[in-house]
A and B are shown apart, each in its own frame.
Chain A
Amino acid sequence: MNSKERLLKALKGEDTDRSPCICPGGMMNMVVTALMEKANIHWPEAHTDPIKMAGLAKAVYDYGCFENYGVPFCMTIEAEQMGAVVDLGSTVYEPHVTGYVIDNLSEWGKLPRLDPYGKRAKIVLDAIKILKKDDNRVPIIGNLSGPVSVAASLIEPVDYYKGLRRHREDAHAFMSFVTEGLISFGKAQIEAGADVIAISDPSGTGEILGPRLFDEYVVTYVNQLIDGLHEINPELPIIVHICGQMHKVYQELNKIRADAHSFDSIVSIKESKKVMPGKIMIGNVSTYALEFADADRIRVLTQKVMDDGSDIIAPACGLGTKSSLENIQAMLQIVQQSSHEA
C-alpha cells in the first residue's frame, strides 16, 4: 500500500496496513531548519517561489519526516490576498500578519475579493502542480486557513471578537465573504491536484469563543467552506484542525462535516474518540516534546498516541523550526514498525 492509498483510505475509515504518519502543512508546520539545510531550500524564499515551495514539501517526504506533501508553509496567504500586510518572516519565523485592512466589521465591503490565481496564491497552485507531476504515490495536502482565523487577520482581533457578539449582521456578512474567498482558493488547490484539504482554524477555538459563538460562527462557516469544496468532488477528504481545549464544544464540533479532526496535545484522543464517534482522529504527538525531548521519548509518546486510538499519527500542532530531524524521523519510524508487529 503506498502512502497516498493509505492516507486516503484512513481518512475514510477504511482498512489500511497501518496508520499513516503525516503533517498537513499550512498552520501545521512540518518544516524544520535542519531540513531546510539538507534540502538547501530556505524560508522565507520558499514562500514566494513555486519550485522552492514544492522542493521543500518534497524534502519532508524524502528525508523520512512525514508521508505526505503539504503546501503552503504558512497561514497568511488568504489574508494577504484580501489586503492584509504580511511579514514573510525568516528562516525560523513563519510569515505573519502585521497590518489589518479594516477598522470595523461593517467595512467588510471594502475588502478585495480573494483572487485564487494571483500573487502567493498562485505560487501555491504552481507548487501543487509541480508536486503532482513528480509522483503520484504521495498524497498532496492543500491547506487553508479557517474562516475565523482569516477574518481575525483582516481586522484587529479584539474588535473582531467583540463584533461577533454585538454586530451579528455585519459579522455574518463578513464571514460569508471571507468563506467564499476561501472556497475559491480551496477549489483552485483541488483543481491543481490537491488530494486532501486541511483547514486550520486556530483563532476559532472554543476557549476564546465559548460554545454559543463557536456554533454560530465556526461550525457555520467551516461547514459552508467544506460544502463549497465538495462541489468539485463530494468525496474529497477534509481535515479540520482547531486549537485548544475542546471539552466545552464537542457537541458543536460533531456538527462539522469534516472526515477527520486534528487536535492539540491537550486534547485526549481517547476522550475525543468516545464523544465523536465515526470521526477519524488525527494527532497528537506533542510538538513541545518533538522540539525538546529526545528520540526515545518521542518513540514512547508516539506509541501512546497509537495505543490511544489515533487513526492518523501526526504532530499536535505546527512544529517548532528548531526541532531535530532525528526526533521527527523517530515518530515515523515507530509508526512504520507498527505494521510489522500488527
Chain B
Amino acid sequence: MDATPLMKINRNNLEGKVKDMAKSKEELLQQLSDCVFEMEDENAADAAKEYIDAGYEALDGVLKGLVDGMNRAGQMYEEEEYFVTDLLVCSDAMYNGLEVLRPHLPLDQDADAVNYKCVIGVVEGDTHDIGKNLVRIMLETAGFEMYDLGRDVSLISFVEKAKEVDAQLICLSTLMTTTMPGMKEVVEMLEKEGLKDKVKVMIGGGPISQAYCDQINADGYAVNAIGAVTLAKELVGMA
C-alpha cells in the first residue's frame, strides 16, 4: 500500500484553531472519534459527511476526530481491554471516515516539512501478517508515510525500497522462529551499503525479543503496535 492518506497532512498548521470554534464542532469531532473508538465502521462515513457539511476543516476532522479515536483505541489495547481484532475494526472505521474527508484536505503545501517514510513487511519465508498490518495502521495513524511490502518479502526488497523512497525506517516482522535470521540479513545488507546509520531497523513479532534485537544489531524492538509507534518516533526523531 503506497497510498499515504494521513501523511498529506501538514500537522504544523492546526494548533490553536479549535479553541474559538462553536461547541458543535467539538461534538462532531467527538462523534468522529467515537465512531472509530466504538468500532462503528458503518457510521464513520456518515459522521464524516456530517462534519464536512457543517463546514468545518477536514484536517481537524482527521487529526482530532478519526486519529483521536484510533489513539484512544490504542490506549485500550495497551490496557488489554481491546485486542487485535478490535483495533482492526476501529481502523476500518478510521479509513471509512478518511475516505470522505480526504478530498477536502488541503494539499501538502509545506515543502519543507519532513516526510517520515517507513518501509514495512513480513520477512521471507513467513506469511503471518496480522501484527505487521496493525503496526502499519498505527504508524500511519501517527503520521508516517508507509510503504507496505506485504508478507514473505525477499530480504533485498526491504533495502531496495528503502533506498528508492529514501526511507528513514524499516520495520521487519515475523511470527516464526525459522524466519528470524532474515532480520539479521537485512541489517547486514544495510551495513554493507553504508546505510545503517541513515536507515533505522525496527523488529517485532512473536518469537522476537530485545535480546535478539541487540544480538543482530537492529535499532529497536517493540513488543506490540503501540510500543512500535513510540519507538518509531524515537528512532527517526519525530516530535
A interface list, Cβ under 8 A from B: 29, 87, 89-90, 92-94, 96-98, 157-158, 161-162, 164-166, 202-203, 206-210, 213, 243-244, 248, 264, 287-288, 291-292, 317-322
Contact between A157 and B85, CB atoms less than 8 A apart: no
A87 touching B152, Cβ below 8 Å = yes
Q: Please measure, in the bound complex, the distance between the C-alpha atom of A97 and the C-alpha atom of B86, giving whole angstroms.
A: 25
A97 neighbours in B (Cβ, 8 Å):
127
Q: Is the CB of A207 within 8 A of B83?
A: yes
When distances are taken between beta carbons in the complex, the residues of chain B under 8 Å from A164 are 85
**Would you call A157 and B125 a contact (CB within 8 A)?**
no
Can you report 21 residue pairs joining A to B where beta carbons are below 8 Å apart? A29-B178, A93-B126, A94-B125, A96-B126, A98-B152, A157-B130, A158-B88, A162-B85, A165-B85, A208-B130, A210-B82, A210-B86, A213-B85, A287-B177, A288-B207, A291-B180, A292-B211, A318-B176, A318-B177, A320-B181, A321-B178
Asked, given contacts A87-B152, A161-B84, A292-B215, whether A94 binds B130 with beta carbons under 8 Å apart, the answer is no
The answer to whether A93 and B85 touch across the interface, beta carbons within 8 angstroms, is no
The answer to the question of B212 belonging to the interface, with a C-beta cut-off of 8 Å to chain A, is: yes
What residue of chain A has the Cβ atom nearest to residue B129's Cβ?
A: A157
Complex contact A320–B178 (CB within 8 A): yes
Q: Quick check: B92 and A162 within 8 Å, CB to CB? A: yes
Indicate which residue in A90, A161, A213, A264 contacts B206 across the interface (CB closer than 8 Å): A264
What's the minimum C-beta distance from B155 to chain A, rounded to whole angstroms?
12
Minimum CB–CB distance from A202 to chain B (whole Å) comes to 7
- In the bound complex, what is the Cα–Cα distance between A166 and B41 (angstroms)? 11
Q: A249 to nearest B CB, angstroms?
A: 10
Judge whether B209 is part of the interface by a CB distance below 8 angstroms.
yes
Complex: chain A residue closest to B208, CB-CB: A288
Q: Are B178 and A318 within 8 A (Cβ)?
A: yes
A93 in complex: contacting residue of B84, B125, B212, CB < 8 Å: B125
Please give, as numbers and ranges, the residues of chain A lying within 8 Å of B39 by CB-CB distance.
Answer: 165
Decide: A98 and B127 in contact? CB cutoff 8 A: yes
CA distance A163 to B88 in the complex (A): 11
Partner of B85, one of A87, A96, A161: A161
Interface status of B80 (Cβ within 8 A of chain A): yes
B residues in contact with A208, CB < 8 Å: 83-85, 130
Q: Which residues of A contact B127 (CB under 8 A)?
A: 96-98
For B84, what are the chain A residues with a Cβ–Cβ distance below 8 Å?
Answer: 161, 207-209
With both chains docked as a complex, state the minimum distance between the C-beta of A229 and any C-beta of chain B, in angstroms: 26
**7 other contacts beyond A92-B125, A157-B128, A206-B83, with CB at 8 A cut-off?**
A96-B125, A96-B126, A98-B152, A162-B92, A208-B85, A210-B85, A320-B178
Residues of A within 8 A of B179 (CB): 93
Closest to A292 in B: B215
Q: Determine the chain B residues whose CB is within 8 A of the CB of A94 once the complex forms.
A: 125, 176, 178
Complex: chain A residue closest to B127, CB-CB: A96
Known: A243-B206, A318-B177. Is A162-B89 also a contact (CB below 8 A)?
yes
- Would you list the 5 A-B pairs with minimal beta carbon distance, nearest first? A210-B83, A93-B125, A320-B177, A208-B84, A161-B85
Cα distance A318–B207 when bound, in Å? Answer: 10
- Per the bound structure, the CA–CA distance linking A202 and B180 in Å amounts to 17
Q: Which residues of B contact A162 (CB under 8 A)?
A: 85, 88-89, 92
Contacts A97-B127, A157-B130, A161-B84: A317 and B215 contacting too (C-beta < 8 A)?
no
- Chain A nearest CB, measured from B54 CB (Å): 29
**CB contact under 8 A between A158 and B177, given known A98-B152, A244-B206, A248-B80:** no
In the docked arrangement, what's the CA distance between A244 and B83, Å? 13
CA distance A292 to B82 in the complex (A): 34
Q: Any chain A CB within 8 A of the CB of B124?
A: yes
Closest residue to B175 on the A side, CB-wise? A202
CB interface residues, B 55-87, toward A, < 8 Å: 80, 82-86
